[in-house]
A = this chain, B = another copy of it.
Amino acid sequence: MDSLESVAQQTGIAGVLWQELAVIPTQGGPVLHLLRSEYPLMPFTKGFGEIYFSEVLEDQIKAWKCHRSQTQLFAVPVGLLKVVLFDARQDSPSAGQVQEFLLGRPKHYGLLKIPPRIWYGFTALGGNALLCNCADLPHDPTESERRALDDPFIPYRFPIKPASSPRPDQ
């Protein structure tokens, strides 16, 4: 294990952790680590949950979602994703806090751990992005909630990019 992968760092919102992942240059294109048993953020210590991808098209926004019991582990192997978290846990030391993260290579390739009861949303910057989500519990539609992008409950607004206007006649 690369030594950078042995440490999980606190971020700001309680329980939101960050672990860097190695990107290894090889002939033909790099190898990108994702999950190994010995990682501090390994989510499958009590059994396998689920892994899926969410592709986010350029400037599109997917928000807001919150899980009651599932922990999410985000990694972004392709593109650049802005992830926004909101701590709505009244019993949390960081209750009410909003936090932004940029995920993507080369500087921000790693695992972002989002504990239950944190609201999250994300958008792809400068092109499409691929999010890989390793969840510690199998998919269960009854344990997640959604809110609209402009729900006043969440004190954050994603900038909405206006549709490009037609070129004026010359």
Interface membership of A54, Cβ < 8 A: yes
Report the interface size for chain A: residues with CB under 8 A from the other chain: 35
Contact A32 B52 (CB under 8 A): yes
- Chain A interface, DSSP helix/strand/loop, else mixed: strand
Residues of B within 8 A of A33 (CB): 52
- Whether A3 is near chain B, meaning CB under 8 Å from some CB there, is no
B61 touches A28 (CB 8 A): yes
Copies, count: 2
Among candidates B47, B52, B57, B130, residue contacting A78 with C-beta atoms closer than 8 Å? B130
Q: Pull 28 A–B residue pairs with CB atoms less than 8 Å apart, ordered by A.
A: A26-B54, A27-B60, A28-B57, A28-B62, A29-B56, A29-B60, A29-B124, A31-B52, A32-B52, A32-B54, A32-B55, A34-B51, A34-B53, A34-B132, A35-B48, A35-B50, A35-B52, A36-B50, A36-B138, A36-B139, A37-B47, A37-B48, A37-B50, A37-B138, A48-B48, A55-B77, A78-B78, A130-B130
Residues on A close to B: CB < 8 A?
A: 26-37, 42, 44, 47-48, 50-57, 60-62, 77-78, 124, 128, 130, 132, 138-139
